[in-house]
Homo-oligomer: A and B are copies of this chain.
């Protein structure tokens, strides 16, 4: 059952990020293949880098075409609805934040399964959650969101600490996962909504 939960979280993350990737690509008015490629990069970038660094090869999406099917499905959903939904920026943000939550948890759990130090697991989760968006932004010639003022990685790191806190409290895994995903989602959304940022280290 544990493995099924991990797979479900992984696939929800893939769907959310492929939709977010497709919206970002449509903002730049790419053609259909461009949109599919950006959706793929966004959805698989984080997990691919994680599996490369761990050495869990071949990477998951080479072993089974299921992942690609979900990405194509997510991208087509985004394409179908892009004329209906007025506010690209907001839609992108919601799916981006959802994907961030799902993937951070997926990354932390994979780190635990490989026996890494909790601090390293949080780093792996953050990287799994953030890297897809980073290479999407670099590919689209945008300045990566993560390097800008928005508290992007911070959400993942706080979520990661809460994950291990709940682990220490022997909370069951399903509620722990859901709480962690929700915390990351909410921090990210609030940070953008209220333009929260880390305290500046620069003199005016």
- Chain A residues at the B interface, C-beta cutoff of 8 Å: 26, 29-35, 37-38, 48, 52-55, 57-59, 61-65, 68, 79, 82-83, 114, 116-117, 119-120, 123-124, 134, 138-141, 143-144, 146-149, 151, 153-154, 197-203
Query: Number of copies of this chain in the oligomer?
Result: 3
B198 contacts A31, CB within 8 Å? yes
Q: A37-B147, A53-B48, A146-B37 are in contact. Are A202 and B62 (CB under 8 A)?
A: no
A-B contact pairs, 25 of them (CB 8 A): A26-B201, A26-B202, A31-B149, A31-B197, A31-B198, A31-B201, A32-B198, A32-B201, A34-B147, A52-B57, A53-B58, A53-B59, A53-B62, A54-B62, A55-B57, A58-B114, A62-B120, A63-B116, A64-B117, A68-B119, A82-B201, A83-B203, A138-B139, A139-B144, A141-B143
